[in-house]
Amino acid sequence: MSNEQLSSTDECLPSTRVSTCFNHPTSDVILQSSDRVLFKVHRRNLEMHSQVFADAAGVTSTLTHVAHATSHLDTSTSTSTSSNEVVHLSESSSVLELMLQYMYLQPQPDLRKVDFEVIKDLAEAVEKYVVYSAMAVLNAKMREHIPTHPIPALLYAIRHGYTELVTESAEATLDFPPYTMLQKVPSEVFSAWISYQQTYHILLSKEFTRFGPTRYHASPTNVKEPCKSWAEHYSLITTVLGGAFAYSTTNGGNGGSSSGWSRMRAGSLAGLGGPSRRWAAINNTSSSSSPSGTNSPSTTLFRFFATLERRLLLSGSGSDIGIGTGVGTDAVSTHGGCADCKRELGHWLQQAERDWREWREGRGVEGLRSICRLLGVV
C-alpha cells in the first residue's frame, strides 16, 4: 500500500488495521475503507470540507446518512462502536488517505508520482463526496492524463459534466477503432462518439476536395492551363492528412507511451503567424497536453495548418523550390510566385480554420456533451 504505514489495534474489528497517518487520539468518527483500513478522523473536518458529510450532519447527529446520500454510487454503510462511529466507505485506503489530506490543515498531497488508477479513483471520490478543495486539482490531473488515458478521462468528464474536458478527451480518441470504444464505453456514449468520429472524417475528406489537385491559373497570354505550382502545394498539404484515416495501434487509451512524431505544441504553429495562430490557441487549452502519436488528431491538424500556412507564405515569394514555376516562367507574379495560388491558398486557410473551429467548439462534439445532461449514463 503506497505511502502508508499501518498498525493493528485491539479496539477494532477483526482483520482491520489503522492508518498511522490518520490515527488522531481525539477523533470522533472512524472511516473504514473497502480494504478494511480504519481512519480515525474528526467529524468537524469532514463537515467543513465535504458537502456530502455536511448535508448528512444537517439531517442527524450521526453520519449514517452518508450511506444514503451516496447510495446511487456505492454501498457505504455505518455502524457504531462504544466510543466512535464507524462509517464504511467503498473507496480503497490509498484513495481515502489522499482525499483526507485535503480536509486537514496540512500541505496537499503530491500527486505527481501517484499511479493513474489511484488518481482516477480519487477524482471520482472527491466528486462523490463534493470535496471542493480537491475537485479542481483532480480535474487538472485527469486533463494531464488525456494523452495516455483518454477513454477514462472522457468518461470522467461526461459523468461529471466537464464539457471542456469532454472536448479535449474525445478528440484524443478519434483515431481509435470503433470496436475498441464499443468495448470500453456505455452504448449511449458510443453512439454519440461514432457520430463524432464520422464528422471528423467527413471534414478531413473535405480538405481533399475543397479546391482539388488541379487549378487553372491564367498566364500573361490569358491561357488557362494547369498550374504546376498549385499541384505541388496541393500534394504537400494533403499528404499530411493521409495518415489520419488510419486507426491507432495503441492499447485504446488506457496507458502506453507516446511515439513517432515529436510532440507538437500550439506555439510551433503560432510562430508562423496568420489566421491559424488563433486556431492553435483554441486547440491548446492544456499547456502540458501533447499529441500521443504521428497520426493523432491533434498532430494531424497541427501539421495540416502548419503546412497550409507555410505554402501560403511561400507562394508569393518564389523562395522555395518549385514555387513560382506556374505554367512556365511567365505565369508568375511580380514577386516570383503565382498570385492565383496565393489567393486560393488564403481562401483555403480561412475556410478550413472556420470549419475546424466550429467542429471543435461544439458542432462536432455536441452529441457527447449532451450526455453530460443525462443522469446514470456512465
Task: Place 14 in a pLDDT band, splitting at 50, 70 and 90.
Answer: low
Task: Place 258 in a pLDDT band, splitting at 50, 70 and 90.
Answer: very low
Task: Place 222 in a pLDDT band, splitting at 50, 70 and 90.
Answer: low
Contact 312, 168 (CB under 8 A): no
Across the range 160-176, mean pLDDT stands at 89
Give 218's contacts (C-beta < 8 A, 6+ positions apart). Answer: 224, 331, 340
Pairwise pLDDT comparison (135 vs 326), residue with the higher score: 135
The Cα 125–Cα 103 span in angstroms is 13
Pairwise pLDDT comparison (86 vs 116), residue with the higher score: 116
The Cα 268–Cα 302 span in angstroms is 9
Task: Place 7 in a pLDDT band, splitting at 50, 70 and 90.
Answer: very low
Helix axes 150-160, 187-209, angle to 10 degrees: 110
Tell me what the pLDDT averaged over the chain comes to. Answer: 75
The Cα 372–Cα 53 span in angstroms is 25
- pLDDT score, position 157: 93
Give the 3-state secondary structure of residue 373. coil
The dihedrals phi and psi of 258, each to the nearest 5 degrees, come to -80, 160
The Cα 156–Cα 123 span in angstroms is 8
Pairwise pLDDT comparison (165 vs 368), residue with the higher score: 165
- pLDDT score, position 344: 93
Closest CA to 210 of 230, 196, 226: 230
- pLDDT score, position 343: 92
Give 372's contacts (C-beta < 8 A, 6+ positions apart). Answer: 157, 158, 160, 161, 162, 163, 166
Beta-carbon count within 10 A of 190 CB = 15
The amino acid occupying position 125 is A
| Residue 368 host element (H or E) | helix 366-371
CA 365, distance to chain mean position in Å, is 13
Dump the DSSP string for 274-332: STHHHHHHHH--STT----STT-HHHHHHHHHHHHHHHHHHHTT--STTTT-TTSTTSS
Closest CA to 297 of 208, 180, 167: 167
- pLDDT score, position 188: 87
- pLDDT score, position 158: 92
The Cα 272–Cα 131 span in angstroms is 43
Contact 357, 327 (CB under 8 A): no
- pLDDT score, position 128: 96
The Cα 345–Cα 151 span in angstroms is 36
Contact 22, 37 (CB under 8 A): no
Closest CA to 103 of 27, 11, 35, 5: 27
**Burial environment of residue 75 by CB neighbours within 10 A (0 to 12, 13 to 18, 19 or more):** exposed
Ranges 233-242, 283-292, 369-378: which has the least confidence: 283-292
Ranges 33-42, 190-199, 209-218, 335-344: which has the least confidence: 335-344
How much is the CA Rg of the chain, to the nearest whole Å?
28
Joined together, the cell numbers standing for residue 237 give 498539404
Give the 3-state secondary structure of residue 141. helix
The string of pLDDT tens digits covering residues 59-81 is: 444 455 555 445 444 434 455 44
Q: What is the DSSP letter of 115?
A: -
pLDDT at residue 92 is higher than 70? yes
- pLDDT score, position 373: 60
The string of pLDDT tens digits covering residues 347-356 is: 999 999 999 8
Distance linking the first and last C-alpha atoms of the chain: 29
Helix axes 297-315, 187-209, angle to 10 degrees: 20
- pTM score of the predicted model: 0.71
pLDDT at residue 266 is higher than 50? no
Portion of the chain with pLDDT greater than 90, in percent: 40
- pLDDT score, position 121: 98
